A and B are shown apart, each in its own frame.
Chain A
Amino acid sequence: MDLLAQILVNGTLQGGLYAVMALGLALVWGVLNIVNLAHGAFIMLGGYASWYLYTYAHIDPFLGLPLTAAVMFGLGYGLQRGLLNLVIRAPMFNTLLITFGLEVVLTYLAQLVFSADFRTINPPYAGNSLAWGPVVLPLARLAAFGVAIVLTVGMWLFLLHTRLGRAIRATAQNLVAARLYGVEPRHLYAMTFGLGIALAGAAGTLYGTVSQINPYIGASLTAKSFAISIIGGLENPLGVIVGGLFLGIVESLTTLYIGQTFADVASFGILVLVLIVRPSGLLGKTT
């Protein structure tokens, strides 16, 4: 029983990390209709940014998180204005190609600049844990989970209640109507992409604190984020939290009862099931 409780806690905490990883991908996908295959590569870059901040400037990863996010926002904004705007109205295949190309370029640039060595953001408290009865709560994961919840709920409130958030949603729903009301799509798209990349950067910071960073982590993180976005649905950020938690818990239980090698089978199996049964996600509209 203790073991089951511990496994559920592990899955939940893992799920929080998953959610923050997928948040940016879902936002960009939902609003710009771009499946950003380079999303995982941006998570990797965010991880390196925080690693440098921590190792050379001794800035705690959680405190440095806004800084990393801000840098990544600038990168995302620029990339959207300079590169992705060129294909924003093109068929989806073109956007897939260009983001895939970006993924490859970023990965190999990262290897050139950072080398293939793996890095860990390892502040002294990273390995600490809290005991909650028989259940152990790893501190760094708990903090990452907290940040994930704050970011997701913050994102949700931002989209619902701010002027910019409403403009983003309006553009996603009906571009022509949004333009008639004075929304400037180029700026807005770049803001959205910048936000998505900032979230990826934040996720990279958290990922580097609990796991390890090397130039090649991107592709598998993109795949996971993709699955979570589909499972949760693109309609609202809370769907991503649900998708992330669901996946985290399912993977943990699969490892316990069936075997770790089946964890990916379970998560991508669920992806297929969701696509068949609820194509707009667990929290999506029923059509």
Chain B
Amino acid sequence: MSSRHSRLLAGLFAIAAASASAGAALAQEVVLGASVQLTGPVANTGRYYRDAYQLAIDKINAAGGVKIAGQSHKLALKLYDNQSDVNLSVRQYTQLVSQDKVNLLLGPFASNFALADSAVSEKYKVPMVQGGGASDQIFARKFKYIFGTLAPASNYFGSTVGMLKSLKPAPQSVALLYADDAFDVSVAEGTRPMLKQAGLNVVMDERYSTNATDFNSLLSQIKSKNADVVLVAGHETEILNFVRQAKSLAVAPKLYSFTVGVPSEDFRKALGKDAEYAFGMTAWLPTTALKDRWFGDAEKFAKEYKAKFGYDPDYHAASGAADVETLVQAMEDAGSADPQKVRDALAKVKFESLYGPIAFNAQGQIELPQMVIQVQGGAVAEIYGAKGFVKQPKYPMPAWDAR
């Protein structure tokens, strides 16, 4: 009996000692935890977050780190690979807060992940700033510890629909296709009323399963219903198949626009010149107009990113880097790394970043307008923004055999 007691005591001492040493380590370093898709089907977007987090942390550390109440602390990143598996990512976030005792959380990529993982941050009351989930569902649950820096999914096609009204010849009919996950369903729900308000005739409104590879039937229907405009909310692999199969079935609407792909370099590379004329949107372009405390401006950020990782950043990367900056800004505002105090500072945070002005609404989501972009001559051209046309769109899209 007594030996069992002494073993129990020894165990308690060991735990106490371990947590004390962890506490001591935290005094010097602020650890940010994240679980990101480094392998698995969405790894090619997940890498934006790994690279952006690391680049931003290195840059901030090089500038002296985060200054909390007059003292400088270095940042550290604790990153897990969730293998593109939502359940694993929830377990990893639980481990990050309960065992690794990280100070604050950065997000995963994709809405369905953020939706599940935000339950962990809420339960353990550790704030998570995530730049990978745009679905309005994430923010509709009155959670207090989740903040998002991607423009709301419901408004992804907002600027595109705005542009449709001023195109000549004016498009009449629209086909709306969307994948069956949290993000794309939110996009569709937000787009429907906008199309109605714009007086456009929605001839197709179809949901398809995530990771679908065969779009031939949907494309044949688009052709047979003669849709002028095709709006697709989906994932890059699906959009890739969609465009290739559109070409092989000679389906060329006046305009098509996609929620993903168009801003990404590997998408344009995989499609080659078939990527031409595709519309998309981005809330971010690497311009000098976006000033940043650490990087100088967005253009410099993009250059450093490309030099370090060998590929161009898109809005995912900028959003991820902004998440790190947002946490740093909030810690400095709060004068503390205490999760509760940082959470309160996040709710009030307001600063200029390489990604744009950062501030959150009552639900914790950023409000950013989307710019309409189009692939023109192998590069992304900015077409239409809040102030109207920036550059003339190539519209209507020519038939495939007339290119």
Q: Which residues on A are within 8 Å of B, measured CB to CB?
A: 2-3, 6-7, 10-11, 13-14, 108, 111, 115-120, 122, 126-129, 131, 136, 138-141, 210-212, 214, 216, 220, 251-252, 255-256, 259-261, 263-264
Contacts and interface: CB of A to CB of B under 8 A. Distances in A.
20 contacts: A6-B220, A10-B220, A108-B39, A115-B44, A116-B41, A117-B266, A117-B270, A118-B236, A118-B240, A127-B248, A129-B249, A136-B250, A139-B248, A210-B244, A216-B40, A251-B217, A252-B214, A260-B206, A260-B218, A261-B180
B16 interface: no
Contacts of A210: 244-245, 248
B400 to A, nearest CB: 6
A116 B39 contact: yes
B224 A2 contact: yes
Nearest to B236: A118
Interface string B244-285: 110111100000000000000010001110100000000000
A141 to B, nearest CB: 6
Nearest to A135: B220
B43 A212 contact: no
Given A126-B244, A256-B217, A136 B249 contact: yes
Among all A-B residue pairs, the 9 with the closest Cβ atoms: A127-B247, A138-B248, A116-B43, A260-B208, A10-B216, A255-B217, A3-B224, A116-B44, A216-B41
Contacts of A119: 270
B241 interface: yes
B211 interface: yes
A13 B217 CA distance: 12
Interface of B: 39-41, 43-44, 47, 84, 180, 206-209, 211-214, 216-218, 220-221, 223-224, 236-237, 240-241, 244-245, 247-250, 266, 270-272, 274, 400
A117 B250 CA distance: 26
A176 to B, nearest CB: 44
A117 B44 contact: yes
B241 A211 contact: yes
A252 B213 contact: no
A116 B214 contact: no
A212 B248 contact: no
B47 A14 contact: no
A117 B47 CA distance: 11
A261 B240 CA distance: 19
A6 B400 contact: no
Contacts of B43: 111, 116
Contact of A14 (B209, B214, B244, B271): B214
Contacts of B220: 3, 6-7, 10
Contact of A256 (B207, B221, B244, B272): B221
Given A3-B224, A260-B208, A260-B209, 14 more contacts: A3-B220, A6-B223, A10-B220, A14-B214, A14-B216, A111-B43, A116-B43, A127-B247, A138-B216, A210-B248, A211-B241, A212-B237, A261-B180, A264-B209
Contacts of A117: 44, 266, 270
Given A127-B244, A129-B250, A138-B248, A6 B224 contact: yes
B212 to A, nearest CB: 6
A209 to B, nearest CB: 10
Contacts of A211: 213, 241, 244
Residue among A13, A136, A263 with most chain B CB within 10 A: A136
B261 to A, nearest CB: 10
Contacts of A256: 217, 221
A127 B43 CA distance: 28
A71 B44 CA distance: 28
A118 B245 CA distance: 16
A212 B241 contact: yes
Contacts of A216: 40-41, 84
Residue among B44, B207, B236 with most chain A CB within 10 A: B44
Contact of B248 (A126, A220, A259, A264): A126
Contacts of B244: 120, 122, 126-127, 210-212
A254 B386 CA distance: 41
Contacts of B250: 129, 131, 136
A140 to B, nearest CB: 6
A187 to B, nearest CB: 37
A23 B204 CA distance: 36
A260 B247 contact: no
Contacts of B240: 118, 120, 212
Residue among B206, B217, B270 with most chain A CB within 10 A: B217
Contacts of A131: 250
Given A115-B44, A116-B47, A260-B209, A122 B248 contact: no
Contacts of B180: 261
Contacts of A14: 214, 216
Nearest to B265: A117
A214 B237 contact: yes
Given A115-B44, A220-B211, A261-B208, A140 B248 contact: yes
B217 A118 contact: no
Residue among B41, B207, B223, B266 with most chain A CB within 10 A: B41
A128 B248 contact: yes
Given A115-B44, A116-B47, A126-B248, A260 B217 contact: yes
Contacts of B248: 126-129, 138-141, 210
